[in-house]
Amino acid sequence: MKKSTASLLALIAALNAGHALAADDAAGKTREQVRAELAEAVRTGDMPAISMTGQKLNELYPNQYPAKPLVTGKTREQVQGELAEAIRTGDMPAISLTGQKLNEAFPSRYPQKIAVAGKTREQVQAELAEAIRTGDMPAVSLTGQKLNELNPARYEAQKNTTSGKAGKANAS
């Protein structure tokens, strides 16, 4: 039994090391840092267990790993203060299937929320026009790239022509 558990842990460690090393380039970590993180994860059981529950080893077998340090939460007074504020403003779930809060279901019973001033329509339209001109908009692709990243030559040419126009306007 202990041999199979040890080999299972070694297999999980190897799989996680592969994933960690693959992400090494993106995260900028050295091989030693990744190995140290893996050793710490093995020591603390902070590794996925092979089970359908999605639990980690330290959650399945808490007596085999050191206990996690307790994180101090809010004091009783803080929680009671937050609850009183939520009751006062109606920022609590209403008893309904819609998922609305009380202040959304019954707006006349609660004080209005202060609206934060946003951008004007003209500001938003100007930003959109600039994003279209520079290609600083998401492309319709699965890569998550922007238009100017997919077609750099197209937007580089536009940048050169608009900067030339700006230079002529300044010279006049």
Do 9 and 50 lie in one domain? The reply is: yes
Domain that holds residue 23: 2-64
Tell me if 116 is assigned to some domain: no
80-132 confidence digits (pLDDT tens)? 999 999 999 999 998 877 888 899 888 899 888 787 888 899 999 999 999 98
Tell me if 147 is assigned to some domain: yes
Q: How far apart are CA 139 and CA 150, in angstroms?
A: 8
Q: Is 167 exposed, middle or buried (0-12, 13-18, 19+ CB in 10 A)?
A: exposed
37-49 confidence digits (pLDDT tens)? 999 988 888 888 8
How does DSSP classify residue 51?
S
Flag whether the pTM goes above 0.95. no
Tell me if 114 is assigned to some domain: no
Tell me if 69 is assigned to some domain: no
Do 11 and 60 lie in one domain? The reply is: yes
Torsion angle, alpha carbons of 25, 29, 30, 33, to 10: -140
**What pLDDT is stored for residue 162 in this prediction?**
56
Do 93 and 143 lie in one domain? The reply is: no
Residue 170 has pLDDT above 60, yes or no: no
Q: Give the chain's domain count.
A: 3
